[in-house]
Structure 1
Amino acid sequence: MAGHDGQESGGTAGRAGARARPGNRRVAQWVRDYVRLPGIPDEYIGQDGAPRAVWTRFFDAFASLSSADIERRFGSADRHLREAGVTYRAPGEIADRQWPLSHLPLLIDEADWQQLSSGIVQRAELLELVLGDLYGEGRLVAEGAIPAAAIAGSTEYLRSVCGVKPPGGRYLSIYAADVGRGPDGRWWVLGDRTQAPSGAGYALENRLVLSRAFTSLYKSMNVERVASFFEAFRDSLRASADRDEPRIGLLTPGTFSETYFEHATLARYLGFLLVEGDDLAVSGDRIHIRTVAGLKRLDVLLRRVDSNSLDPLELDANSQLGVPGLIDVIRKNGVVVANMPGSGVMEARALLGFLPSLSRRFLGEDLKMPHIATWWCGQKAAREEVLSRLDEFAIEGAYGRGVPGFGRGPILAAELSASDRERLKTAISDRGIDYVGQELVRLSTTPVWDNGHITPRPFVLRVFAAATADGWTIMPGGFCRIADQPDARAVSMGDGARAADVWVVSDKTVSTATLLPGVDTVRIRRIAGVVPSRAADNLFWLGRYLERAEATLRLLRALGMQRDAGKGSPTVLPAIERVQRLLVIWGAASQTSRSQPAKVVAEALQSEAKFGSALSLVRSAQRTATSLRERLSPDAWQVITEMSERLAQEVEDDDGMMIAAELTLQELASFAGLVQENMNRAAGWRFLEMGRRAERAINTVRIARQFAFDEAGSEDLDILLTLVDCQITYRSRYLVGPLLPPVRDLVVLDPYNPRSVAFQVAALNDHIASLPTLKEGGLIERPQRLAVALQAMLTTAEAASLDTKTLFALEQDLLTLADAIGSHYFPHGPNASRPEKLTGLA
């Protein structure tokens, strides 16, 4: 970041190629055209015009890699991001974007980092003290140190928590500051993040990707590890609770949040429960999680929901993201919320001008890190100063992200039309408290890789600090955003920016810290863990969507086989017609397409407009899996992603469609194998399995009704055996062609056949019996009662009695059982609290 009056030219002193080490021709070639922008501090070229030592060291090591090796490693990083599904969502968009990671890190040497860290620690301490006064004694306003209007004008100042001591003892558990270099080359603060700072999870993902792509380079540079920061933060949240083994949740707005991937990443890495507002309920003086085992007490809530949305009873009544009654629980010291609701008031630009004097008041020292010179227009002198020199300022909103009446900022008066300029002046004059004037700045720059060359681009670095018992701990690294345009005054991930890993480089060997605890500090346990009702619901439907996709693909494969085998054969046409009818009934194809089998195949495989097509079902599974990112392994997520990408690819001919269907079926089998071999046999696995078993049973009966009807011939029965993957079993058991009674027995009643209806019902019965009961009294609950009755009927039934009417009744009973599982374990509305089964101390 630099002031508007910087005079340094971009001549020889700012050109990297002239100062590159002569012994390294490749580095000289890379940086040949690297020119520091006039008057703008740069990370590669220092104030003296020479490359900084840390970058010289990096490029010397980087040059030891061949061009092919560099490109291969870049490709590996990009592939990992794609396969792992690292995404974000730009403001106002509904589709996810792939995470844009810069291939070069931002480098900061140890001495420079120490100065930066010292300033961040001081600022975090100051903001904590200011918050304590604003919501406590209120001396700052009473004594005129801060004008009351500067506080009252902010929607983030919550009167409902005034006088409430924060449970856990702190307003800020985590703090972040956006920084850049000022005109003098020192770090300056661009903005404070005290509400619910984002970016730490993405910083972690950036580190994982780049350190794997350049393992040797990463180690040789002695990069400080970030694991110790996350460990300190996690331990601090644990210590803030009032019991030894607290339950911690990360409160997310949900999958439509711009940074949902980050929420899931942090929850998985830190071992927290990822919860939404609907997952939580107030009971007594505590917050509880709605789980498949009843209500479980929650001790600490790391929130990624803005303060005003936390409690519709006392804050924004329209919010559907929070928990009714949460503020009252905080008053009663029933839950620790990090950061404390109302802490976002310190992000207001209106307060920036008062921080220097507040630092001297509270800490007895000047700010170690300056920030952008800011004039709050709520004061007469500052307002007149801004209006008199309007073209010399950037106008921002005093509170929030936008400029009232003008949209997103900053607004440069010199670039406005005459009418808009007058409108801005009038707005500032009429209601100055909503506006600030800030010094015109341009962001400092850092090197990026651009088609085999190094070029400077503006960046913003977000540095994170965690409050611990020993003081503030700084993440040795951070979240860096880099603009694609050379001249940038702000960087947002929605404006075509890219992210970069941040390497704090040491001259000595660094500690290889890990988040894994020592062997002597862990108490061995074999508990199943907590499964929120929402997560169980998503797991159940993930299983159902994938099983539906498999059934659709099997029908497509059978349709293709019958068309190839029965060209010109009138006996095959009725079977083809029945397959097509099933695809239409399932919503995979149009009724009007039945006269064109090729069109039926195309629609059922790839139509985005048909909810029952393989593509639509796999995408539904992918959306559901997005809500389970913290519970699915990277391999499982990769399989789902690859299926979605394959089915979305344009296929021109019938053979290509059949190949795509076959490959997707193989990937569905891979996912089933991962579920069986890699998932712990806890409640989450059971609900995923229950979804698969329920859907397979329903689909099998539906297919049996179509192809094992009372007058079914051998052609129909042969198709049925193919669809349910029982050809080998039937032929090894019976030495005759397909006959109706043995086929019905094998497909519906055989408890030893893993594809039969009876096998699925038996598995459902076992899963339901293993789940905790939710009602007092000891009576058998409805899902188990239905499952037991179904199993008894299938056990005692005979193949001769399985006519079409009986099969239809069986299908309805299976649908009823699936609905009963959902209404019992995933209830919505007032019944979700389940007061009969409160297990708050568990």
Structure 2
Amino acid sequence: MKMNFDSYETSHYFDELVGTNKKPRNGNEVIFDYLANLSFDELNFKQKSIDAAMMNMGITFNVYSEEGGTERIIPLDMIPRVISGKDWDALEKGLKQRIFALNEFLKDIYSDQKILKDGIIPKEVVLSSKGFIKQCMGVKPLKDIFIHITGSDLIRDEKGQFVVLEDNLRSPSGVSYMLQGRELSKQILPNLISKSKVRSISEYPEKLFEALAYISGKSEPTIAVLTPGIYNSAYYEHSFLAQQMGVELVDYRDLVVENDIVKMKTTKGYKTVDMIYRRLDDLFLDPMNFNPKSMIGIPHLFDAYKKGNVGLANALGTGVADDKVVYAYVPRIIKYYLGEDPIIPNVETYLCGEEDSKKYVLENIEKLVVKEANEAGGYGMLIGPRSTKAEQDMFRERIKADPRNYIAQPTISLSTSPCLIDDNIEARHVDLRPYIIYGEEIYVTPGGLTRVALKKGSLVVNSSQGGGSKDTWVLKD
């Protein structure tokens, strides 16, 4: 039995593959026709091949929301998500604009704080952020770059317009799943990926290495990926990226600081480390300067960093620009530093720290998505239309107790994409996390991680809460 899209239901959502009258969107004809000529047996065989390959490669993630936590593969749906070259070129331009402006913002608030003095952002919004690290005032990262690796989350609204849902500037995860997903696509859809003229993403590890080397300022730097350890949910990614770049994977046991120089233990003695791609949260990096209870940090690492003897990617203190309250001011940040309007808009955002907005949120919470300012992974969030009255009441009390810590946004209908679900093709909601590298110049990987809400009707795409993924195909014009 051949697969067809006659029964494919997109409802009122914007679908990434299928437009009106069950016809493919412009540029998707090749993929649409290919899928329509496959039988369900063929589709299922390809999907099972992907699942087996991912398990064999150990591409896993720890799902903490399940009882006790469980390690499992990241479900990768075999049907790719397609983005036209024209749409991508506009996204690339908008992301470069956004990242440059956010880096200027970070440089400013840890030095002269002109944007605060000029009243563009209320001073208390920045200084009260959990991501703002006072010890970083006056500390300049190497090359004046704070955000070397970014994974901004984008969604399409009902009209098909991309909007930024949030910025991830500390240590965004998922790039290994993007890269491995592409390799699996090449294996199971080799002819289709070639015929569709899909842009390559394989140079990401090389671009990352080049950026880290540039930041270090050394001609032959020693670079290391610092992991919290094997029990971290994204450990697979840490080891994968280290291997792909040809650099060392280290944890707290491998590094020491002597005379403000970071050194790595090797079989031939100690070796100076010039650049660290760290996957530890700021406050766990150095127990002598930050959280004294940290068992996974390196004592006096911050001292070496302050003196410019080692680079950290991303730089310490970037979390303030991750704050969901600060996010609401990003259009103003872009205008302030660049004199431009944002190319990619934000989602309308209500700040509960503002009295009028708080009143509106409390009265309309059942219609809104409420988020904690510094949570990630889909935690600390209420999706109003899908919540119970008890959950709504609980969030009302949380907002009243700490209004600065909450924002709210309209419940946006994320776009959908076809997925193979139980021997059928069904629409599931998706978002997009492109990966941006800031080195000598800003590079946007032509693709990204498309995350999928596998549960029917769900808007929660996070892997940590059981979401899946798709390979993202950006087409050449």
Same fold (TM over 0.5): yes
Corresponding position of 2:134: 159
Does the residue aligned with 1:322 lie in a helix, a strand or coil? Answer: coil
Deviation at 1:430, TM superposition (A): 4.2
Q: Which amino acid aligns with 1:128?
A: N
Pairwise CA distance, 1:66? 6.4
Partners in 2 of 1:85 and 1:394 — Cα distance? 34
Residues 267, 274 of structure 1: 8 Å contact kept: yes
Q: 2:118 — aligned with what?
A: 143
CA distance in 2, matches of 1:424, 1:430: 10
Change (3 A) 1:160 1:65: same
**In the aligned structure 2, how far is the partner of 1:50 from the partner of 1:310?**
52
- Find out whether 1:75 has 2:48 as its counterpart: yes
Alpha-carbon offset, residue 91 of structure 1: 2.1
Report the equivalent of 2:399.
428
Matching residue of 1:256: 231
Residue-by-residue CA offset, 1:261-287 (whole Å, 9 max, x unaligned) = 111111111112111122111011211
Tell me how far 1:375 sits from its aligned partner: 1.4
User: Does 2:30 match 1:60?
Assistant: no
Letter in 2 for 1:90: V
CA deviations on 1:350-407 (whole Å, 9 max, x unpaired) are: 112211222211111111111221111222332233334333322211222499xxx7
> CA offset at residue 207 of structure 1?
0.9
Give the 5 Å matches for 1:317-332.
317-332=292-307
| Correspondence for 1:188 | 163
Aligned partners of 1:401 and 1:409 also within 8 Å = no
How far the C-alpha of 1:152 sits from its partner, in A, is 2.6
Q: State how 1:766-781 maps to structure 2 within 5 Å.
A: none
Does residue 504 (structure 1) correspond to residue 477 (structure 2)? The answer is no
Q: Tell me which protein shows more helix as a share of its residues.
A: 1
1:444 alignment partner in structure 2: 415
Aligned to 2:7: 33
Please give the secondary structure, in 2, of the residue aligned with 1:102: strand
Deviates more, 1:41-50 or 1:481-490: 41-50
State which of 302, 309, 312 in structure 2 corresponds to 1:337: 312
Quick one: distance in 2 between partners of 1:423 and 1:499? 31
Q: Aligned match of 1:45 in 8, 14, 18? A: 18
The aligned counterpart of 1:805 is none
SS of residue matched to 1:261? helix
Q: In the aligned structure 1, how far is the partner of 2:394 from the partner of 2:77? A: 40
Q: Are 2:429 and 1:458 aligned?
A: yes
Query: Which residue does 1:275 correspond to in 2?
Result: 250
Verify: 1:103 aligned to 2:73, yes or no. Answer: no
Q: 2: distance between equivalents of 1:260 and 1:424? A: 33
Structure 1's 447 and 195: CA in aligned 2 closer, same or farther, altered over 3 A? Answer: same
What is residue 262 of structure 2 aligned with on the other side? 287
Q: For residue 438 of structure 1, what is the amino acid of its counterpart?
A: Q
Q: 1:42/1:62 Cα in 2 relative to 1: closer, same or farther (>3 Å)?
A: closer
Q: Specify the SS of the correspondent of 1:448.
A: strand
Change (3 A) 1:221 1:336: same
Q: Partners of 1:429 and 1:98 in 2: how far apart?
A: 39
- State the alpha-carbon separation in 1 of the partners of residues 92 and 158 from structure 2: 19
Q: Is the 8 A contact 1:30 1:453 kept in 2?
A: no
AA in 1 matched with 2:443: T
Q: Where do 1:142-541 residues align within 5 Å? A: 142-401=117-376, 408-412=380-384, 415-417=387-389, 421=392, 424-469=395-440, 471-507=441-477
1:175 and 1:193 in contact (8 A); partners too: yes
**Partners of 2:95 and 2:227 in 1: how far apart?**
26
Name the CA shift for 1:47/1:309 in 2 (closer, same or farther; >3 Å): farther
**Distance in structure 1 (CA, Å) of the matches to 2:58 and 2:386:** 43
Matching residue's letter, 1:504: V
- Would you say the 8 A contact 2:17–2:81 is kept in 1? no
Structure 2 counterpart of 1:116: 91
Aligned to 1:562: none
Q: Secondary structure at the match of 1:350?
A: helix
- Cα-to-partner distance string for 1:128-147 (whole Å, 9 max, x where unaligned): 11111111111122222212
Q: Which moved more, 1:225-234 or 1:324-333?
A: 225-234
CA 1:191–1:456: 2 relative to 1, 3 Å: same
Could you tell me whether the CA contact under 8 Å between 1:156 and 1:308 is conserved in 2? no
Name the CA distance, whole Å, in 2 between partners of 1:389 and 1:146.
26
Q: Distance in 2 between matches of 1:463 and 1:106?
A: 13
AA at the equivalent of 2:380 = R
Superposition deviation, residue 168 in structure 1: 3.4
Please state which structure has a larger fraction of its residues in strand: 2
Cα deviation, residue 49, structure 1: 6.9
| Structure 2 CA distance for partners of 1:414 and 1:233, relative to 1, 3 Å | closer
Aligned residues of 2:350 and 2:409 also touching (Cα < 8 A):
yes
1:368-767 pair list within 5 angstroms: 368-401=343-376, 408-412=380-384, 415-417=387-389, 421=392, 424-469=395-440, 471-507=441-477
In structure 1, distance between residues paired with 2:162 and 2:139: 35
| Alignment partners' CA distance in 1, 2:348 and 2:178 | 29
CA RMSD across the alignment: 2.3
Structure 1 residue 57: deviation in Å?
1.2
With over 3 angstroms needed to count, the CA separation of the structure-2 counterparts of 1:468 and 1:424, relative to structure 1, is: closer
2:4 and 2:36 in contact (8 A); partners too:
no
Please state how far the C-alpha of 1:416 moved relative to its aligned partner: 4.1
> Which amino acid is the alignment partner of residue 6 of structure 2?
R
Taking the TM superposition and a 5 Å limit, the aligned residue runs for 1:810-829 are none
Q: More relative contact order in 1 or in 2 (CA 8 Å, sep 6+)?
A: 2
SS at match of 1:54: coil
* Percent identity of equivalent pairs: 28
SS in 1 for 2:142: coil
Given that 1:396 and 1:402 are in contact with CA atoms closer than 8 Å, whether structure 2 keeps it comes out as no
Change (3 A) 1:428 1:98: closer
Q: State the alpha-carbon separation in 2 of the partners of residues 58 and 46 from structure 1.
A: 14
CA distance in 2, matches of 1:80, 1:424: 42
How far residue 82 of structure 1 moved from its aligned partner, in angstroms, is 2.2
Matched pairs, number: 475
Amino acid at match of 1:83: N
Q: Distance in 2 between matches of 1:31 and 1:335?
A: 55
TM-score w.r.t. length of structure 2: 0.93
Q: Which residue identity lines up with residue 303 of structure 1 in the other structure?
A: R
- Residue deviations 1:163-186 (CA, integer Å, cap 9, x gap): 101023200111111111013211
Following the alignment from structure 1 to structure 2, what is the Cα–Cα distance between the partners of residues 283 and 86?
37
The DSSP-based 3-state class of the residue aligned with 1:410 is strand
SS in 2 for 1:447: strand
Q: Is the 8 A contact 2:334 2:340 kept in 1?
A: yes
**Residues 450 and 472, structure 2, Cα contact 8 Å, conserved in 1:** yes
Q: Is the 8 A contact 2:150 2:435 kept in 1?
A: yes
In the alignment, the residues of structure 1 paired with residue 293 and residue 437 of structure 2 have an alpha-carbon distance, to the nearest angstrom, of: 32
> Which AA in structure 2 matches 1:30?
N
CA distance in 1 between counterparts of 2:306 and 2:405 reads 31
Residue aligning to 1:128: 103
Contact 2:418 2:426 (8 Å CA) reproduced: yes
Whichever residue aligns with residue 325 of structure 2, its letter is A
